[in-house]
Amino acid sequence: MIEDALADLLRSALASSGLDLDGEPPEIVLTKPKQKEHGDFATNLALQVAGRVGKPPLEVAEIIVANLPSSDVVESKEIARPGFINFRVRDDWLHRALRDVAARGAAYGRSAPSGRRVQVEFVSANPTGPLTLGHARNAAIGDALARLFEFTGWEVLREYYFNDAGGQMDRFGDSVVARYLQAVGREAEVPDDGYHGSYVADIARDILHAKGPSLADLPPDERMTRLRDEAVQRVLPQIRSTLDRFGVRFDVYTSERTLAERGEIELAVQRLRQTGLAYDADGAVWFRSTEFGDDKDRVLIRSNGRHTYFAADCAYVIDKFSRGFDHVVYVWGADHHGDVARVRGAAQALGYDPSSLEFVIYQWVAFLRDGEPVPMSKRAGTFVTLDELMDEVGTDAARFHLLMFSPDATMNFDIEAVRQQSMDNPVYYVQYGHARIASILRKAAERRVELRSIDEADLSRLSHEAELDLLRAIADVTAEIRTAAERRAPHRLTHAAQGLAARFHRFYTECPVLSDDAELTQARLWLCVGTKQVIANLLDLLGVSAPESMERTEDVERAQ
């Protein structure tokens, strides 16, 4: 990247400047000025070190500039008021970015493999029913993060963890039992705290169809666990296919019961005891999580002998690290932020580097329909499923919208708005840019305009401000993707995609691609090809498709 090249120049200038830095060399920060008069890149280096070297910033800037090695990327440099050094880079650097896109295609901006492995655990909804709107943001963020990790050189494993035992699952089991008994013609009621959705009855009927009525006569405990497990076997594939449709594929599904059956939960508790951080009290086994910033100690084994979810979490931490990940990421809703301290504390107590665990906490989504909140309770049976959401607004619009906002911010998702305002929907604006370029390329083929090798193209013909802006946007994407990855901020990608599309649309309006000027046509065609590729790359990171053409929907025609 150009920033790296400029940073090298500055480092070299600093080294040969004779300035006494007295300690660590400063981090070289290059920023893109908002004002174009300030050049393409700027550094505050002189301001940073002025205090240390005991000279006024402007003087330091002059010394640094005087010592800059000659370079074929720098067009000009100037010193500005408080002490900034502003660089203008040569246009052929922008051309290099475009050639890079042409050469690398989908891998443009991609980092080389680092050999580091990261596990991203997300969604992790319990198999008590279909995925709902509530899981949508988790799925979108988790998957986008996984894609960002992959793009920036990590080896990624996507994992889904679910609890298939425990109190919540028992309540689900009881509900299935009730529906099953009803299906065989017996009196039964779904418990008040059970799952009332009609899908439970569907599952029960399906079990009856497959296994017959004999399960009704099992002893109650066995009946519940048997029917619960039968139900889970039906729910999980459904969840999997919903995720598949949403563009999310997991590498591994891990169940709590597997951990329990392998004795790993007991082992985890044992290991915590060995550290002296687990103790007995009130008939239960506790973890001293207050040692790690938690506001109270947490129970691992209840006085009734059953382990808590937290105990399973501890076993799962061991499981994760035993598989050799360098980094593990949990994608959790804001309602789980309180669990962070104890899980990280447990990891630390177990001897793992607590900074290797990362918790990406996202805030809640308010789902609305025409401005009215959509009620969501799986237990009460009032919810909208993720499948229904995709039916209504489409997968692309759903994912893009869910990824438009910072995970830190609560967001609204008005189903009617995302569906009906398709004319103004950013996802279509971006996709339209891609489709529009595809259309130009088709038109070029129709007119028998052959796209020659980019090596033969005279990219210096791209001198219109709209062309240069577009080139800069293409060149910037690499840094933007890295920032999005580093900060766990996939929403930056949606903004980058919109910015790129906007610059393309302006270029399209002001600069006819197919003209009588053959050289200019070649250059502009390559600009189109590059833009199309980069838009597609960004959309891919978001899990959104990049269509070659777009149908006009009824909504749009009505609005026209």
SS3 550: coil
Q: Is 514 among the residues that bind RNA (CB under 7 A)? A: yes
DSSP H/E element including 206: helix 198-211
Q: Is 551 among the residues that bind RNA (CB under 7 A)? A: yes
Q: Is 549 among the residues that bind RNA (CB under 7 A)? A: yes
Give the residue, chosen from 200, 277, 513, 546, that forms a contact with RNA under the rule CB under 7 A: 513
Q: Is 51 among the residues that bind RNA (CB under 7 A)? A: yes
Q: How far apart are CA 84 and CA 99, in angstroms?
A: 31
SS3 259: helix
Give the residue, chosen from 72, 295, 516, 554, that forms a contact with RNA under the rule CB under 7 A: 295
Q: Is 253 among the residues that bind RNA (CB under 7 A)? A: no
Q: What angle do CA 554, 555, 556 make, to 5 degrees?
A: 90
Give 24 or 37: the residue with its C-beta nearer to RNA.
Answer: 37
267 and 284 in contact (C-beta within 8 Å)? no
Q: How far apart are CA 415 and CA 551, in angstroms?
A: 21
CB of 25 to RNA, least distance (A): 16
Q: Is 11 among the residues that bind RNA (CB under 7 A)? A: no
Give 5 or 550: the residue with its C-beta nearer to RNA.
Answer: 550
CB of 480 to RNA, least distance (A): 10
CB of 400 to RNA, least distance (A): 12
Sole window of 105-113, 175-183, 223-231, 303-311 interacting with RNA (rule: CB under 7 A): 303-311
Q: Is 290 among the residues that bind RNA (CB under 7 A)? A: no
Q: Is 56 among the residues that bind RNA (CB under 7 A)? A: no
What count of Cα atoms within 13 Å lies in the side-chain half-sphere of residue 395? 15
Sole window of 13-21, 91-99, 150-158, 503-511 interacting with RNA (rule: CB under 7 A): 503-511
User: DSSP character for 374?
Assistant: P
Give 42 or 190: the residue with its C-beta nearer to RNA.
Answer: 42
Q: Is 191 among the residues that bind RNA (CB under 7 A)? A: no
Q: Is 502 among the residues that bind RNA (CB under 7 A)? A: yes
SS3 451: coil
Q: How far apart are CA 98 and CA 193, in angstroms?
A: 60
Restricting to residues 115-174, name those near RNA by CB under 7 A.
126, 163, 166-169
Nearest CA to 417 among 378, 490, 366, 364?
366
SS3 262: coil
User: DSSP character for 216?
Assistant: G
Q: How far apart are CA 52 and CA 391, in angstroms?
A: 61
End-to-end CA distance of the chain: 44
Return the HEC string of 376-426. CECCCCECCEHHHHHHHHCHHHHHHHHCCCCCCCCEEEEHHHHHHHHHHCH
CA dist 495 → 76, 94, 360, 443, 501 (Å): 30, 21, 20, 29, 10
Give 206 or 416: the residue with its C-beta nearer to RNA.
Answer: 416
Q: Is 255 among the residues that bind RNA (CB under 7 A)? A: no
CB of 394 to RNA, least distance (A): 11
Q: How far apart are CA 105 and CA 531, in angstroms?
A: 11
Q: Is 80 among the residues that bind RNA (CB under 7 A)? A: yes
SS3 455: helix
CB of 183 to RNA, least distance (A): 25
Give 154 or 208: the residue with its C-beta nearer to RNA.
Answer: 154
Give 112 or 409: the residue with its C-beta nearer to RNA.
Answer: 409
Q: Is 254 among the residues that bind RNA (CB under 7 A)? A: no
CB of 106 to RNA, least distance (A): 21
Torsion angle of C-alpha atoms 292, 296, 301, 305, degrees rounded to 10: 170
Q: Is 498 among the residues that bind RNA (CB under 7 A)? A: yes
Return the HEC string of 30-82. EECCCCHHHCCEEECHHHHHHHHHCCCHHHHHHHHHHHCCCCCCEEEEEEECC
CB of 111 to RNA, least distance (A): 18
Q: Is 335 among the residues that bind RNA (CB under 7 A)? A: yes
Give the residue, chosen from 26, 33, 153, 381, that forms a contact with RNA under the rule CB under 7 A: 33
CB of 212 to RNA, least distance (A): 29
Q: Is 49 among the residues that bind RNA (CB under 7 A)? A: no
> Would you call 123 exposed, middle or buried from its count of C-beta atoms within 10 A (0-12, 13-18, 19+)?
buried
Give 27 or 187: the residue with its C-beta nearer to RNA.
Answer: 27
Q: Is 510 among the residues that bind RNA (CB under 7 A)? A: yes
Q: Is 368 among the residues that bind RNA (CB under 7 A)? A: no
Give the position of tokens 């800037």. 61
Give the residue, chosen from 1, 102, 218, 361, that forms a contact with RNA under the rule CB under 7 A: 361
Give 96 or 302: the residue with its C-beta nearer to RNA.
Answer: 302
Give the residue, chosen from 338, 351, 373, 375, that forms a contact with RNA under the rule CB under 7 A: 338
Number of residues that bind RNA (CB under 7 A): 91
CA dist 367 → 40, 305, 376, 395 (Å): 42, 40, 9, 16
The conformational region for residue 431 under phi > 0 = left, psi -120 to 50 = alpha, else beta, is alpha
Give 183 or 478: the residue with its C-beta nearer to RNA.
Answer: 478
Q: Is 495 among the residues that bind RNA (CB under 7 A)? A: yes
Give the residue, chosen from 16, 31, 274, 382, that forms a contact with RNA under the rule CB under 7 A: 31
CB of 520 to RNA, least distance (A): 11
Sole window of 29-37, 114-122, 207-215, 226-234 interacting with RNA (rule: CB under 7 A): 29-37
Restricting to residues 309-328, name those near RNA by CB under 7 A.
309-310
The conformational region for residue 153 under phi > 0 = left, psi -120 to 50 = alpha, else beta, is left
Restricting to residues 397-456, name those near RNA by CB under 7 A.
404-406, 408-412, 422-424, 426, 428-429, 432, 435-436, 438-440, 442-443
Q: Is 546 among the residues that bind RNA (CB under 7 A)? A: no
